[in-house]
Amino acid sequence: MKVFKFGGASVKDAEGIKNVYSVLQQVGHEDVLLVISAMGKTTNALEVVIKNYFDKSAELLASIQEVRKYHNQILLELFEDENHAVFAAVGKIFSDLEVFLKGTKSPNYNYVYDQVVSLGEVVSTTIVSHYFNHVGLKNTWVDVRELIKTDNTYRDAIVDWDATQKNISKGIKKKNLNITQGFLGSDENNFTTTLGREGSDYTAAIFAYCLNAESVTIWKDVPGVLNADPRYFDNAVLLNQISYREAIELAFYGATVIHPKTLQPLQRKEIPLYVKSFVNPLLPGTSVSKGADLEPQTSCFIVKKNQLLISLSSLDFSFIMEENISEIFLLLHKYRMKVSLIQNSAISFSVCVDDKFGNFAELKAVLSKKFKVTYNDDVSLYTIRHFSDKSEATVTTGKEVLVKQTSRETLQIVTKEIA
């Protein structure tokens, strides 16, 4: 079996869905599992719904209607008959959303988040599955929440591999075209969980691991893995082949083409990963597989925007020792800060973090009891693999360098725009 993952950009409108059908016609669809994300910017739109719910905003119903209208327009462009069963199926999903928001009393933001935002994937796969059947491509719609089991760490759930393996082995029919949702799972009480933003790649890897798949292909709007994000760097070039190790390094430092969790399960079973273009599906793209000889021969650039640089120093000028660092990391974990860079000296300790859950104010209040806390917000963290003096100049010109750290293969620089 092959596993294909199509992200939100590939199914953002009716033409995109038709193009996914075209891709399958060109590359084959027998014995394939499709993992599909929410359409376009649906996840962001549902986050607005969640915000309006907790703010008790009068705009709540209007924000739900906006998401519903977006999907309904896609339906009208795909199906001539408004009496087609897909209209009722999608309508029920949105009706159930309204019922949930009226009935739930939970103050747990992360729990509510997962129950609501997950509907983006449920709607997208419902539409794609119905459309494929409509044009003669028979398929089986699979509810991933019945297969991937996790703990109840909402918004960043941890997979229960044993239970998931058993469910997937029983629940996926081989030789069929199966369509399921990325990003989602469920806990022991069958409440929906999510695997972290951009977790659909990880979903594809979970299925591939459990099915002993032949390969995983991630279909993107770029020709493959590039040495830099073309939104931020000119003259980005395609990496034709890279090793699992290099791909894991790039993903760890923040390369957005491949989700950081995706590669470990594939590497364990040496399942090759391909990153290809859904615009030109017959092009070779990038292959990720075993082999130390697959290192890029060019510098690779990664940038993380909107980062937070936190610097701590002792109040009495004493050394920051192992016990202090241990305590700091426990707090960073507690407040769910994603650490991207660490630097310490005798009396100071700095970390560059991604405060994706908005917990810094609480963390700062706790840290301030023991340390002097200074910070810079809205900084950029640049990582250069296989760096050179020329590549360093590319990211530092015209910027203030706050932190610079070098290892054998990797250079990391935290910068601030000069006002």
pLDDT of residue 294: 61
User: 20, 277 in Cβ contact below 8 A?
Assistant: no
- For residue 158, the 8-state DSSP code is P
Please tell me the distance from the alpha carbon of residue 210 to that of residue 128, in angstroms, as a whole number: 24
pLDDT of residue 68: 98
Q: Which CATH number is correct for 2-213, 2.30.30.790, 3.30.70.120, 3.40.50.150, 3.40.1160.10?
A: 3.40.1160.10
DSSP string covering 96-121, please? HHHHHHHH-----HHHHHHHHHTHHH
What is the Cα gyration radius of the chain? 23
Please tell me the distance from the alpha carbon of residue 129 to that of residue 144, in angstroms, as a whole number: 14
Mean pLDDT by 10 residues, the chain (419 residues): 97 98 97 98 97 96 98 97 97 98 95 98 98 98 98 97 98 94 97 90 97 97 90 90 89 78 92 97 94 74 96 86 89 94 89 94 95 95 94 93 94 92
| Sequence ranges of the binding site for ATP | 231
pLDDT of residue 301: 95
Residue 409: CA atoms inside 13 Å, Cβ hemisphere, count? Answer: 11
Say what the pTM is: 0.85
User: Positive or negative CA dihedral for 332, 335, 339, 345?
Assistant: negative
| Sequence ranges of the binding site for substrate | 121
In terms of Cβ atoms closer than 10 Å to its own Cβ (0-12, 13-18, 19+), residue 15 is exposed
User: 189, 196 in Cβ contact below 8 A?
Assistant: no
SS3 (DSSP) at 299: coil
pLDDT of residue 293: 63
At a CB cut-off of 8 Å and minimum separation 6, what does 384 contact? Answer: 299, 300, 301, 302, 391, 392, 395, 410, 411, 412, 413
pLDDT of residue 128: 98
- For residue 123, the 8-state DSSP code is H
pLDDT of residue 228: 92
Q: Under CATH, which number does the domain 300-417 receive?
A: 3.30.2130.10
- For residue 289, the 8-state DSSP code is E
Please tell me the distance from the alpha carbon of residue 273 to that of residue 267, in angstroms, as a whole number: 9
Q: Which amino acid is at 218?
A: I
pLDDT of residue 66: 98
Q: Where are the domains of the chain?
A: 2-213, 300-417
| Sequence ranges of the binding site | 121, 231
